Amino acid sequence: MTKQAEIDYLRKLGGEGLRHAAGKPFTDDHVGEHLLGLGAILSLLPPPPLRVLDLGCGSGWTSWFLAKRGYEVLGVDISEDFIRLAERERAGVPNLNFQVMDYEAMAFDGEFEAALFFDALHHAEDEGLALEKAWRALRPGGLCLCLEPGRGHAKAGTTVEAAAKFGVTEKNLPPAKIIRLGKRAGFRTFEVFPGPGFLSHGIFRPAWAPDSRTSFRPRFLRDAAKFVRLLARKRDAGLVLLVK
């Protein structure tokens, strides 16, 4: 798995993949999960004005949402193709900028109040180094938010297929590992929140889903133990908040 594969990923996707990337999150089958995750991030961030560094921003949809909230946002990605797409699709927002950059080789030093890895840190060759660079980019007291796939991700069918076809880096990245690497990078405070995937499947399971029997699925509301178990699964894949 090489960085060059990450750089070339978008052009290898072809026309349909390009349309999907340009329209994300709305073109994605997991749109509800993506928006739940971003909603959680917006809830955890202090209100604007803040400078936010969106790391591995891809097509820039997370950067666009953050900028529309009022943050001063810089989205960075190693792929020039993705940055050009982001600049084209997210144009017209004055407080939003994009830059081609390897987040494992950044030279920022105390310039941001917040940094975000939204489904991006697990693509790093060295995720510990990426967290060190994020730590350095933050001011004292700055926040780093990591929303990453957790246990089992590397062996999932679609993940294995993508890694084999495109050569991109895919790995498991549960909260415990993020926290361990975050401590090594210098972060001093940590908190884990339930991931949107578990909340989406555990709470908002629609009637048309294959395993649904009724139009009202959240039975955990009548069973506190199930809800506790659901929250406990944040150990497997949660939203991690790190404080410098």
The answer on pLDDT for 164 being more than 50 is no
The answer on pLDDT for 225 being more than 50 is yes
pTM, rounded to two decimals: 0.83
Q: Name, of 24-33, 38-47, 172-181, the range with top average pLDDT.
A: 38-47
Element spanning 12, H or E: helix 3-23
Rounded to a whole number, what is the distance in angstroms from the first to the last CA of the chain? Answer: 31
Assess contact for 187 and 243: CB atoms under 8 A. yes
- Provide the pLDDT for residue 202: 59
Please choose, from the candidates 143, 154, 126, the residue with its C-alpha nearest in 3D space to the C-alpha of residue 237.
154
Structural domains of the chain, ranges and CATH numbers in brackets: 3-243 (3.40.50.150)
The pLDDT tens digits of the residues spanning 53-109 come to 999 999 999 999 999 999 999 999 999 999 999 999 999 999 999 999 999 999 999
Please choose, from the candidates 110, 112, 114, 105, the residue with its C-alpha nearest in 3D space to the C-alpha of residue 136.
110
The pLDDT tens digits of the residues spanning 207-221 come to 555 554 444 444 444
The answer on pLDDT for 206 being more than 70 is no
Which of 11-15, 54-58, 203-207 shows the lowest per-residue confidence on average (mean pLDDT)? 203-207
With pLDDT > 90 as the criterion, what percentage of the chain qualifies? 58
